Amino acid sequence: DAGVTQSPTHLIKTRGQQVTLRCSPISGHKSVSWYQQVLGQGPQFIFQYYEKEERGRGNFPDRFSARQFPNYSSELNVNALLLGDSALYLCASSLGAKGKEFISPQHFGDGTRLSIL
Amino acid sequence: AQRVTQPEKLLSVFKGAPVELKCNYSYSGSPELFWYVQYSRQRLQLLLRHISRESIKGFTADLNKGETSFHLKKPFAQEEDSAMYYCALGIKYGQNFVFGPGTRLSVLP
């Protein structure tokens, strides 16, 4: 198993453009989470999806959206890009859990580095 | 609001010395705490979690609810321990993870 895979690896966009980032989870994992990591800071939670439903949303504007497909892969979309959106975007997958039995650890991909000019 | 703090941005120790990376959290519910590590040119990976009460690569961490801390410790640091360490708080409802800013550990020969 290759682990969590993300594409593309690097992306350069200009202000106002839109971007779509993709993530394939580890086989068997039903939960996908997205994080933004700005240089010098820890990952900041954006979204979590479990069984194709949004389970959590961080403090990000509506320009950020995501979805999860029947095969559990996921896309993160960012509209009207701003300079401040330049960051490493991390995807993580986990077994997930319905209810409150446990929190399964996150397994991270290598990330997509997004640069806004 | 949920928050994780790691007071040291950089921690340098000599090989064989004890090391302690500090982590404090604020959360009104029942916390689940994790330590993640990122070695040079590698992806972020789970090091250990408090409910497992295990020792990974010689590292241990004890959850102290009274002090709201989850410090990572190792009695004898090795050069291969040099990496970026992140403390993370798992929140059950919403399956959210809150990460600290990270501490870069440098183990000197």
Question: Which comes out higher in pLDDT, residue B31 or B59?
Answer: B59
- Tell me the per-residue pLDDT of B46-101, one tens digit each, with 9 for 90 and over: 999 887 778 889 999 989 989 999 999 999 999 999 999 999 998 866 567 899 99
* All residues at 6 or more sequence positions from B7 whose CB lies less than 8 Å from its CB, including other chains: B22, B24
Q: How far apart are CA B107 and CA B109, in angstroms?
A: 7
CA max distance for chain A: 44
Angle of CA points B28, A93, B40, to nearest 5°:
95
Option in B4, B51, B95 nearest A55 (CB): B95
Q: How far apart are CA B105 and CA A30, in angstroms?
A: 33
- Tell me the per-residue pLDDT of A20-68, one tens digit each, with 9 for 90 and over: 999 999 998 988 999 999 988 999 999 989 888 888 888 999 999 999 9
Residues B24-35 have a mean pLDDT of: 89
pLDDT band at A77; cut points 50, 70, 90: very high
Token pair 């580095």: residue: A113
A58 touches chain B (CB under 8 A): yes
Q: How far apart are CA A11 and CA A13, in angstroms?
A: 7
B13 touches chain A (CB under 8 A): no
Evaluate whether B105 touches B82 at the Cβ level (below 8 Å): yes
Closest CA to A45 of A115, A100, A103, A98: A103
Residue A100 pLDDT > 60, yes or no? no
State the nearest Cα–Cα gap between B107 and chain A, in angstroms: 20
β B83-91/A10-13 pair status: unpaired
Q: How far apart are CA A109 and CA B34, in angstroms?
A: 18
A102: chain B residues, CB-CB within 8 Å: 32, 51
Task: Please indicate whether, in this complex, the C-beta atoms of A48 and B96 are within 8 angstroms of each other.
Answer: yes
Evaluate whether A96 touches A104 at the Cβ level (below 8 Å): yes
Count of residues making up chain A: 117
* All residues at 6 or more sequence positions from A6 whose CB lies less than 8 Å from its CB, including other chains: A21, A22, A23, A24, A89, A90, A91, A109, A110, A111, A112
Residues A84-92 have a mean pLDDT of: 96
Residue B105 pLDDT > 90, yes or no? yes
Q: Which two tokens stand for residue A38?
A: 């700005």
Q: How far apart are CA A88 and CA A86, in angstroms?
A: 7
Say what the pLDDT of residue B32 is.
87
3-state secondary structure of A98: coil
